[in-house]
Amino acid sequence: MVEKLLEVKNLYTHFFTEQGVIPSVNGVSFSVNKGEIVGIVGESGCGKSVTSLSILQLIDKPGKIVNGEVLFNGEDLIKLNEKQIKKIRGNRISMIFQEPLTSLNPVFTVGNQISEAIRIHQKVNKQQAKDKAIEMLRKVGIPNPEKQYYSFPHLLSGGMRQRVMIAMALSCNPELLIADEPTTALDVTIQAQILSLMKNLIEELQTSIIIITHDLGVVAEMVDRVVVMYGGEIVEQASVYDLFENPRHPYTQGLLKSTPKVHELEYELESIDGNVPSPDNMPTGCKFHPRCPFAMDKCKEEDPSLLSVGNDSAIKCWLYQDRKVVQV
Ligand SMILES: Nc1ncnc2c1ncn2[C@@H]1O[C@H](COP(=O)(O)OP(=O)(O)O)[C@@H](O)[C@H]1O
Ligand SMILES: [Mg+2]
């Protein structure tokens, strides 16, 4: 039986700036099953990071979750106080970010930081935490981990730093790992190594994962199910197979066209015309209509709903509204 680990329901996160309200995330709902890898894709500025930060209550002022639920094993994380959510963060749910240098403290050795992370959440002594940290450094492929334990973050390469972050994130055996653009800052060869490392580790440790990326190549490589975001909303959800075989939303079709083919050495990157709209200046109707090659009059005026089209897929587009099954 499929067991739901995380259910994000109708999430709205807005930023209340002096210039006005910026509605970055608007009514986002998706779930992650136990053992599943879910990808969230979309161009920069679509609300992917704000969605993932909201899950762990990491939205700082002037941002605020204004509506929604984030059920983790049935418990609403949004209702937890700071002390309660801290017990979950880095322990049952971990996060890794694009730029590991901003998450690592420059004045402590990497080993020290991993051991501390372990000691915050687990009842172990210093030696046990150190042993576990070295074991994790070895698992993520850091050569000579007993020595590298004493390295300072800035002395490591970008790829090695991201390995350290993965070691830290997985050191407490989290049930869920949220990886926000984990390989974007790395060069292509290192990206591939890090992705295959993550894939092997999460299989071994049985961790569920949300991987956020603007790169559909990463999705093809890693994920089971895909959530496509545009303008702070979900516009399509499908299994990775369905999404690549039969992308339905014109935005998804555009994203796929602009993704380089994995095995072609030379490719032309075809990007989608136009830009991601800014959340403080959203178009009327369907937010994608100014860039959509299929836009009809209706699309300019009315916003379609996200409708289930069966087979665990959903789509938010007027081209599919008459085939509706149920509203999700
Ligand atoms: N601290 C902030 N203050 C104001 N607006 C923000 C803040 N953080 C994010 N936003 C806005 O929210 C939107 C979504 O951002 P984000 O989730 O970071 O996009 P993505 O991760 O998909 O690139 C962006 O338009 C961004 O300008
Ligand atoms: Mg982001």
**Eight-class DSSP state of 263:** T
Q: What is the pLDDT of residue 27?
A: 96
Question: Which of 194, 123, 193 lies closest to 165 in space, CA to CA?
Answer: 194
pTM: 0.92
State the DSSP H helix or E strand holding residue 237, giving kind and residue range, or none if neither: strand 233-239
Alpha-carbon gap, residue 312 to 2, rounded angstroms: 12
Alpha-carbon gap, residue 231 to 297, rounded angstroms: 20
Give the CATH architecture of domain 4-92+172-327. Answer: 3-Layer(aba) Sandwich (3.40)
Q: Sheet containing 37-41: which strands, arranged edge to edge? A: 93-96, 176-180, 208-213, 37-41, 225-230, 233-239, 314-315, 307-308, 326-327
Q: What is the pLDDT of residue 312?
A: 84
Probe residue for ligand 1, chosen from 50, 53, 215 as the CB with the greatest number of ligand atoms within 8 Å: 50
Domain positions in the chain are 4-92+172-327, 101-171
Q: Is 252 within 8 Å of 309 (Cβ atoms)?
A: no
Q: What is the pLDDT of residue 97?
A: 86
Q: What is the pLDDT of residue 259?
A: 65
Mean pLDDT by 10 residues, the chain (328 residues): 92 95 95 95 94 96 97 97 95 88 87 95 95 95 96 92 93 94 86 88 91 88 94 97 94 84 50 82 93 95 92 91 58
Q: What is the pLDDT of residue 214?
A: 83
Nearest atom in ligand 1 to 278's CA? 25
What's the CA-to-centroid distance between 126 and ligand 2, angstroms?
35
Q: Is 274 within 8 Å of 286 (Cβ atoms)?
A: no
- Residue with CA nearest ligand 1 atom 14: 47
What's the CA-to-centroid distance between 47 and ligand 1, angstroms?
6
Length of the chain: 328
Q: What is the pLDDT of residue 278?
A: 84
Q: What is the pLDDT of residue 270?
A: 57
- DSSP secondary structure of 26-69: EEEEEEEETT-EEEEE-STTSSHHHHHHHHTT-PPTTEEEEEEE
